[in-house]
Structure 1
Amino acid sequence: MRPATRSATASHIGLVYDHNEDCAYTGRRLFAIADGVGGEAAGEVASALAIEAVRAADTRTPRLDALVADASRRLAAAVDAEPAHAGMATTLTVLAPERDAVRLAHLGDSRAYRLRDAELTQLTRDDTFVQQLVESGHLAAADIPRHPHRSVVTRVLDGRPVPAWHARLPATPGDRYLLCSDGLSDAASADDIADVLRDEPSPRRAADRLIELALAGGGPDNVTVVVVDLEPVRRWPWHR
């Protein structure tokens, strides 16, 4: 049986750009965020097409591998129909709660976090050039915000076959999940994000406060968040 959920999403253009390339989805079985890759053609079109694939996959038994493949086909078809869109790309992070687990599919530098017992854990790895430098020991994590190539994404959805990262992680009632574009993670510390998620029991209010947090941090990019709470499965009592 799928767990009951409460969710909310919020988005803001930020304080630098004049259009929003982020797109998000909160459905019955799937939750997702997509961020059109900055500097590429029609990023907002790419993110919207990815979310259309998520919406189409939000069925009784969603398959995340098929979802990612469908999103890739949609981007390829859009480029065939409109060559001016050649080069468009997007991140994609999808969350699918199950009875005692959550499944994830991920490409790019949007993130998924889990808050459990007041502790925030980043569940996804950033597919970025600077993350590779950190993992190879050539860059300190603290230096990422100042690196000139911090926005270079190494794996995205762009219409070509690409393997997404998939995971199935144990879940418990009371878990809170956050999906966010890098407009939040680049503007706010993990500690501040955790404070908001711990302090606000309402997903709606938590989402709004996370947007406020990103704007207070300079709003350097579009910022979009999805907050998902797993609630205990409600059982009807037996009557004798």
Structure 2
Amino acid sequence: MNDHFQLNVATVTPAWCNHPFVPATLFRILEILHCEELMQNQLAESEPPTISRRPRDDEIDVYGLTHPGKLRTENQDHFLVGSLRGRLNVRLSSLPDDHRLPLEEERIASFMMVADGVGGGQKGEAASRLALEEVAQYIADSARCYFRADGGEGDFVQALEEAAKRSHQALRERGEVDADSAGMATTLTLWIGVWPWIYLLQVGDSRYYCYSNGVLSQISHDQTVAQALVDQGLLTKSLSEHSPLANVLASSIGGPQTAPVVSRIPSSWENVHLLCSDGLTKHISDKRIAERLGTMRSARQVCEDLLQDALDGGGTDNITIIVGRAVPRE
């Protein structure tokens, strides 16, 4: 993602202050953005959903793809889709038919991740790849949290935040010992489904949308300077979409600042989930995304259709899309 820049509050160039969309209060906004409250986990205020049975493996329809776009020779995006599973292992038993016990691996959680690398060329690709590998490893090592996850489980949320911090530290340390890796960073958006909840970990501006009953909602919140100005009422949403500050990350994995945010929302069978890098949303409106999800036949079909839409719209950046849903088969 060569269009993205990282903002180091201590080294903002004077030219920024002359930009028409950057008032003198920018520094105060960034201070607010990185203050302690926003560094803490933000759990969505919602009532627990009505618990119904969770989807079986054969009822999960999920697909992901990534494409370099029409203008770039390299792809700095990476994605990962998978599940965390537990297994009953019998070591000793007095039961005469212990082979009849359910030994299959049970799905504890499903997860989807998107990372959009920053730094140019191999730096961006390496950053997004290493971030996903680091987070995936930490999730696997912290599997105990998933067994106990419920509406008030603090360990689960802490594990997600710690995964982002460890990934951030790993990239920073690599940059310190390897000059070729200096300056690399990445966005990270991690979706984890622990029925009947969805946990979202976000750093940067790769988005998560939820489509339900004909309505598309952007659940993630872009961590860019442009969005910070919008939040403070100093820039309109429409102007922010065309501002160069929309490409300036205020938070990233491996960058000068990282501010991981963990959110929680209830899940249901009606939800369709979409994760994407900004290579999609640069060229596709939320309205068009909603239209595609509203008429989808399968996760693969809608991913391919959205990719083609983005390419037809210009394809100026790497494009990564994941779509997942549950389809009842009873």
Normalization by structure 1: what TM-score?
Answer: 0.89
Q: Secondary structure at 2:263's aligned position in 1?
A: strand
Distance 1:163 1:147, change over 3 A: closer
Q: Paired residue for 1:72, among 158, 168, 182? A: 168
| Of 29, 46, 56, the match for 2:137 | 56
Q: Is 1:72–1:161's contact at 8 Å kept on the other side of the alignment?
A: no
Q: In the TM superposition, what are the counterparts of 1:171-182 in structure 2 within 5 Å?
A: 171-182=267-278
Write out per-residue CA displacement over residues 196-215 of structure 1, whole angstroms, 9 at most, x where no aligned residue: 11111300111111111111
Aligned pairs, number: 234
- On the 8 A contact 1:2/1:98 being kept in 2, the answer is no
- 2 CA distance for matches of 1:71 and 1:181? 19
Contact 1:112 / 1:178 at 8 angstroms: preserved in 2?
yes
Unaligned runs of 5+ residues in structure 2 are 1-52, 84-109, 147-155
More moved, 90-99 vs 35-44: 35-44
The C-alpha deviation readout for 1:98-147, integer Å capped at 9, x for no partner, is 11110000010110000111210000110011111212222211122322
Contact between 2:65 and 2:321, CA under 8 Å: does it hold in 1? yes
Deviates more, 1:178-187 or 1:223-232: 223-232
Among candidates 125, 149, 152, match of residue 44 of structure 1: 125
The question of 1:23 aligning with 2:119 is answered no
- CA distance in 2 between counterparts of 1:47 and 1:167 reads 22
Stretch moving more, 162-171 or 3-12: 3-12
Q: Indicate the residue corresponding to 1:238 in structure 2.
A: none
Q: Secondary structure at the match of 2:241?
A: helix
Deviation of 1:230 after TM superposition, in Å, equals 3.2
Shift of 1:81: 4.2
Equivalent position of 1:122 in the other structure: 218
Q: Distance in 1 between matches of 2:172 and 2:225?
A: 25
Deviation, structure 1 residue 171: 0.7
1:151-196 alpha-carbon deviations (Å, 9 max, x no partner): 1111001167733010111111131110000001111100001111
8 Å CA contact 2:67, 2:318 repeated in 1: yes
Question: Retained in 2: the 8 A contact 1:46–1:75?
Answer: yes
CA contact (8 A) 2:279 2:317 kept: yes
Secondary structure, aligned partner of 1:173: coil
Which deviates more from structure 2 when the two are superposed, residues 133-142 or residues 160-169? 160-169
Contact 2:76 / 2:122 at 8 angstroms: preserved in 1? no
Aligned 1:187-202 pairs, distance under 5 A: 187-202=283-298
**Where does structure 1 lack aligned partners over 5 or more consecutive residues?**
236-240
Tell whether the 8 Å contact from 1:40 to 1:88 is kept in structure 2 after alignment. Answer: no
Deviations 1:20-50 (A, max 9, x none): 1100000012210000125587011100001
* Structure 1: distance between partners of 2:259 and 2:245: 23
Report percent identity of matched pairs: 32
1:209-220 equivalences under 5 Å are 209-220=305-316
CA RMSD across the alignment: 2.2
After superposition, residues 80-95 of structure 1 pair within 5 angstroms as 80-95=176-191
**1:53 is paired with a residue of what secondary structure?**
helix
Judging changes above 3 Å, is the alpha-carbon distance between structure 1 residues 198 and 57 closer, same or farther for their aligned structure 2 residues?
farther
Contact 2:139–2:163 (CA under 8 A) maintained in structure 1: no
Task: Tell me, in whole angstroms, the C-alpha distance in 2 between the residues paired with 1:90 and 1:195.
Answer: 29
Which residue of 1 is the match for residue 260 of structure 2? 164
Matched, 1:8 2:63: yes
Distance 2:54 2:120 in 1: 39
Partner amino acid for 1:147? S
Normalized per residue, the structure richer in helix is 2
After the TM superposition, which parts of structure 1 deviate over 6 Å for at least 4 consecutive aligned residues?
Answer: none
Q: Is the 8 A contact 2:117 2:127 kept in 1?
A: yes
1:16 maps to amino acid:
L
Shift of 1:56: 1.8
